[in-house]
Structure 1
Amino acid sequence: MKIESLKIKNVGGISSLTLDKFHPNLNIICGENGIGKTNILDSIASLFSFFDSDYVNVKSGFNNGYLECKIDGCIKQRHINKKYINLIDKQCVNIGDFNLLYLKVNRVFDYNKEGSIHSDPTFSDRANRNAEGLDNSDIKQWFVSRYLHSAQINNLTETQQKNIALAKKCFSFLDSRFNFSRTNTLNEIIVETPTGEIYFELLSSGFKSILFILLGVIKEIEYRFQEHHVQASEFDGIILIDEIELHLHPEWQGKVCSVLTKTFPKAQFIISTHSPHVIQTAEANEVIALSGENGHLEKRTLDIAPNGFKGWTIEEILMDVMAMKDTRTELYREIKEKFDDALDNNDIEAATEAYQELDKLLHPTYPLRALFKMQLDKLKG
């Protein structure tokens, strides 16, 4: 199941938006704060939910809104007004869909003591509440249960065995120095790290964030497809992730999309980001850069290299893709303007003072530092 196009009208802060030609594997949505990136993910999730009427709202000043997406050639629509939501499916899309998973920003979990191992829950209406996002409270319970049962012959199906094997590998995907070690009699998950063994809840926020995504998706696939025995690596549905870079060091931000697409190679990812490091790893047709005013949004046309953004600098992405006007601070711009004005006015004293301030701000190896010094020396004669 893949999304091909999306239309939003008067929903949340978005007045109008049409996105065509979604990539079948990876779609990275970027744009300034408040432009509507999360609103887009919420809208998609709402189209695949039945009970989650509160997660999308009509835009202020309007009486109704509209959502539509095309999925594998089929149309799914939702008409929204201030009193109720009416879902209309055309052709072959069902109300509530097991094939969509939504990971919101609540991805850091605290320590949770598991006093006992429970039986698998029944998610009879789980797919009807997709807009709520995945729950991070039951990952430990699922992992410990699967790991303990995997040691017993025939306790797990072949699919469950493969899924827990994949889950154990997830601890090493971003950093090979980290590995799943074992569970103990207190039902704790022990992780081997460069500084020793620790409980997995005591890992860094970034590590927990990525583990919640990877383990959360595997766990949810198992729970939702108990009767169909879907192997996580074969999942071909849609995975929405808001602010993919959340809590991640820039080095990991540059790896995370590759980890996701390699772990779930058949899934379609639609993610939002503020990170140029995430975009730097993208192919030419994987980035959706939004622009617009008063809620009327559009996908910007980018001058993209044939092989995407892999050869672009962070500064080039910030300015040309993310529409950042200047990568320097306001203080730098003010002092540089003083320096330029002093040069134009042949004011040696003001130019010297401004240069000394610039000298304290600039990176030690900044290439234009020598040019500024030459300009000042020329002014002094």
Structure 2
Amino acid sequence: MNSSYIEKLHVKHVRKFSEINVFFNKGFNFLAGPNGCGKTSILACISHCFHHGNFAYSRFEEESEFWTDINDNNRLYRVGLGPNSLKAGAYRESTGRQWNAPTQEENRTSLNVIDASNNFKSFCPLFIGANRSIKYKRISGMSREQTLDQKISTYTSNSTKSLYGDWNSDIKQWLVNRYFMIDKDWAIEERENWNHLVRCLPSIGPFESEFTFVRIGKDLEPVFSIYGNECYLEELSSGFQAVLSIIANIFEWVEGSRVDGDRIVQNASGTVLIDELDLHLHPEWQLTIRDSLEKIFPLIQFIVTTHSPHLLSSARENEVIVMPENGNEIYDLKPSEHMFSGWNTDQILSEIMGVKSLDNKLYEELVAAALQQIDDNSVQGLNSAIENLAAVCHPSDSIVTVLKTRLASMVALQND
């Protein structure tokens, strides 16, 4: 069985990182932490290892080095740049000086970025950025698809661009191509993948939405159904567009980056990196999206960033990598052995996401005002304070219940 995945990222003096080593498992990896801790930068640094055209998105120092350790069907590689390869450059300017291979490791082949992009094409990761909305585009017909080498080059050279919304795959064109291709005798893998995609769609959406593909008609407009109502691709909600974009991108990537005979999605391994997986998703959908992706792509490694406590609570053991807030030190980061399914939202927000205060300031002020009315022994004031508090909090709030009990006691004493 195929098994290709990223084992480790090493970064030194790139962006905010003094030195960081991140170890990944071969399944799901959730990068979590506060804003500014470098979650997206981890994905960007991985993308830099596969094509020199991606360097423009980062600033480097002369001591900068970065590389990714890869296990490609038990063949071990180290891909990136070693020390003294770069010069300190201005923002978004070329900084290449020489192409030194990464530090050697026994039983692992070291390749610099240029050699990797030219000669190491068996491992081609997919990067999916946070911009996953699908804009309207008129399709005029089927289009000629790129060759294998062209497709791999497109993915590697545009990986960082994809992270930052400067490049997107044409999902609509791919859907049209596949729809009219699958009835061909030679389209064996395409047909099997298409049927797998159509079968899986109903299990992806939340709330019994019955998300299904309906047809592509003469106007070449893909039509879907949600809650029993038909709609065009661009009419899908932001959440459905985001999830469909991820899934269709992966199908297209599997078919475009592998040789004939090795392009069945359910058997495909490799690495997909997604920025802000939770984007546009309802909390209930965030709780289920991990398992949905694993069901559709059982052998693919996912490295994703997230701010969602619901996503983290859906993670299994050895899947959450907690990023430190300060990147100016040396860190070795590994997936936590813990599961967080038993943690409540506040605990995940404060201890994993680095939220400093979970208190609602208005709520605190209203509670304090009610307590002051008790100290003042003011029945009318406390009654008014309770009404103000009840207007902003949950109907079953325990503090309101206690205050109402105290008010009843004060009224009873007043009447005696």
TM-score (norm 1): 0.86
Cα drift, residue 262 of structure 1: 1.5
Cα drift, residue 370 of structure 1: 2.0
Cα drift, residue 256 of structure 1: 1.1
1:201-240 equivalence runs, <5 A: 201-227=234-260, 229-240=262-273
SS in 1 for 2:323: strand
Cα offsets for 1:262-287 (capped at 9, x unmatched)? 21111111000011111110112111
- Asked if the contact 2:276/2:304 (under 8 Å) is kept, the reply is yes
Structure 2 residue 197 is the aligned partner of structure 1 residue 167? yes
Partner of residue 335, structure 1: 366
Moved more, 121-130 or 263-272: 121-130
Cα drift, residue 210 of structure 1: 0.6
From 282, 290, 293, the equivalent of 2:326 is 293
1:264-303 equivalence runs, <5 A: 264-293=297-326, 295-296=328-329, 298=331
Aligned residues: 371
- Asked if the contact 2:12/2:66 (under 8 Å) is kept, the reply is yes
Cα offsets for 1:55-95 (capped at 9, x unmatched)? 2222xxx5442223332354334254334244625543651
Distance 1:303 1:56, change over 3 A: closer
Mind listing any 5+ residue stretches in structure 1 that lack a counterpart? none
Structure 2 residue 75 is the aligned partner of structure 1 residue 69? no
Cα offsets for 1:133-185 (capped at 9, x unmatched)? 28544222222112212123x141x2222122223234323225121111111
Partner of residue 88, structure 1: 101
Cα drift, residue 294 of structure 1: 5.5
CA RMSD of aligned residues (A): 2.9
Amino acid in structure 2 at the alignment position of 1:174: I
Cα offsets for 1:267-319 (capped at 9, x unmatched)? 111000011111110112111122233644757899975xx222332233223
Distance 2:10 2:377 in 1: 59
Amino acid in structure 2 at the alignment position of 1:14: F
Structure 2 residue 154 is the aligned partner of structure 1 residue 126? yes
Mind listing any 5+ residue stretches in structure 2 that lack a counterpart? 90-94
- Asked if the contact 2:29/2:304 (under 8 Å) is kept, the reply is yes
Structure 2 residue 295 is the aligned partner of structure 1 residue 262? yes
Q: Percent identity?
A: 27
Cα drift, residue 37 of structure 1: 0.8
SS in 1 for 2:37: coil
- Asked if the contact 2:126/2:272 (under 8 Å) is kept, the reply is yes
Amino acid in structure 2 at the alignment position of 1:114: I
- Asked if the contact 2:57/2:160 (under 8 Å) is kept, the reply is yes
SS in 2 for 1:24: coil
Distance 2:268 2:100 in 1: 26
Distance 2:168 2:41 in 1: 21
Amino acid in structure 2 at the alignment position of 1:191: F
Partner of residue 92, structure 2: none
Cα drift, residue 242 of structure 1: 0.1
Amino acid in structure 2 at the alignment position of 1:283: R
Amino acid in structure 1 at the alignment position of 2:32: C
